[in-house]
Amino acid sequence: MMSKPNILYIMCDQFRYDCIASLGNKEVRTPNIDRLVRRGIAFENAYSTCPVCVPARYTLRTGCEPAVTGCYQNEAPEAMDGLPDNMKERCGDYLASVMRKEGYYTFGIGKFHTSPDFKEDLGYDLQMNTEELWDCVQDRKNDAYYSFIRQEHPEYNHIEQLHGERTNMYYVPQVSPLPSGLTVESFVADRVVEQLHMVKDKPYFGFVSFIGPHPPCAPPVPFNRMYNPDSLSNPLRGNKEIDFMDEQIPWMNHVIWAEEMNDFAARNIKSRYYGEITYIDTCIGRILDAVETREDRDDTLICFFSDHGDHLGDHHAWQKESYFEQACHIPFLLSWPGGPGVLHKAAGRRDNQLVCLTDLFGIATYAAGNLQIRDGHPIMEVLAGKENAREILFACYGRPGTPQFKTMIRWGDWKYIYMANGGREQLFHLGEDPDERILYNAGQPHIIEKMQKWNFDFCGRKGLLSAREGAAVKHFPYKERPRLRIRQFDLSGGVHDFG
């Protein structure tokens, strides 16, 4: 075994925790992700603590939660409570920079979703951005995939939205406007394989970030017709009064043109969502094949995960940004066949400890021989039997001190959700009610009281203090925001609306 293993992080966007065949989904086909399941450990209680794109990515690159990153939703980070204005002063070096200092060759390829700088330097030796949206001409020019299409395949330069149409087509089944060998997913896989064949004299730390299966769901031929909607399950619809306690859900449904989706429409979009997943799975397979061709294949730590999930109509909801399991529970696979102790013997193991995206910082630095935890938990030390598993997981979304602020606490099978908008509380028991249809608030006053205390204590750290008011977590009279629609056209091409 080399002194430092290779490390490969593979990330998808909006990939639900329950969409891996070998972990129980009988509808979807994921043969290559299944290879990863057989290769190592599947963490069955993994979470995105701020389940939306931008804050999730700042969390994994810093090892810090939103209280420190200052990124509480899809927004440019902004520190609170007197924390330093500079991100790196608040959090420390980004993960790629830390790994470079540990002697790694580092490459990052795919979606990074930095804000406000489209091409923020994240510390990689090689950084290739492939983003889903471009707000201006310069951002589009800085996109590696767009540059590839423009220069190498100008026959597709007429396409306004290379990844599929958005706006009113956001949750409408589509097919990719490009063939399977020229999509952004294929481009990312090609570049990663090139890197894996090139790196020889150093261990590598690679970060691979696919845009899909984030909508629009537009898999290429033949993946667009791989799943028959009539063979798929309907959404899990609970009591609407419970599902809509979080005002974000009906508001977002309207924003992305999805408030009138019936069961067939949900199954229809799921067929393309699954098509995206199976297509991305083939791209991941090419990357795994490249890893397998190397002599150091067993001494390569691979972690597969997502930034958050997608409701896909469950709980009468679409998109993410809630603390229902479909939005915040994520896939989290870890393997290292040549690694120490339990990792060496971990093939096909299931693990139910609580983990989250902040733990990725510690996993990589542990493997590099210089463990740094920050806001995470020492997962590798837990696996080695040197530390206890995390007992309580805290999460938050929305800027503290605003009606959009909400929190989640996982403790054993209990899940508590607090919403500042209306001061609403939900208590679920995932052991007895994994579908989160039953509120246990009234029957468990002692659990509610315990959660309220933990929630108040949790909001006592810098970066969250504005969420407090007196001796309680701040709440606002319940209010619904004005309804609006997204207009995600080709902004870089000057297209801003219909007409």
Q: Are the C-beta atoms of 327 and 246 separated by less than 8 Å?
A: no
Cross-strand pairs, 349: 41
Determine the pLDDT at residue 1. 41
Between strands 105-110 and 204-213, the pairing is parallel
Determine the pLDDT at residue 293. 97
Determine the pLDDT at residue 228. 98
Provide the Cα torsion 218, 224, 227, 233; round to 10°. Answer: 20
DSSP string covering 56-108 = HHHHHHHS--HHHH---SSS-----TT--SSHHHHH-S-HHHHHHHTT-EEEE
Q: How many CA atoms lie within 13 A of 90 on its CB side?
A: 27
Which three-class secondary structure state does DSSP give residue 273? helix
Which three-class secondary structure state does DSSP give residue 211? strand
Determine the pLDDT at residue 346. 76
Determine the pLDDT at residue 65. 98
Determine the pLDDT at residue 378. 97
Between strands 472-473 and 6-13, the pairing is unpaired
End-to-end CA distance of the chain: 61
| pTM, full prediction | 0.97
pLDDT in tens, the chain (499 residues): 458 999 999 999 999 999 999 999 999 999 999 999 999 999 999 999 999 999 999 999 999 999 999 999 999 999 999 999 999 999 999 999 999 999 999 999 999 999 999 889 999 999 999 999 999 999 999 999 999 999 999 999 999 999 999 999 999 999 999 999 999 999 999 999 999 999 999 999 999 999 999 999 999 999 999 999 999 999 999 899 999 999 999 999 999 999 999 999 999 999 999 999 999 999 999 999 999 999 999 999 999 999 999 999 999 999 999 999 999 999 999 999 998 877 777 788 999 999 999 999 999 999 999 999 999 999 999 999 999 999 999 999 999 999 999 999 999 999 999 999 999 999 999 999 999 999 999 999 999 999 999 999 999 999 999 999 999 999 999 999 999 999 999 999 999 999 9
Cα distance between residue 27 and residue 29, in whole Å? 7
* Helix-strand-coil split of the chain, %, nearest 5: 35, 15, 50
Contacts of 141 (CB under 8 A, 6+ apart): 147
- Residue 342 tokens read as 């339990």
User: In one letter, which amino acid is 17?
Assistant: Y
Of 456, 328, 391, 294, the C-alpha closest to 15 is 328
Determine the pLDDT at residue 345. 72
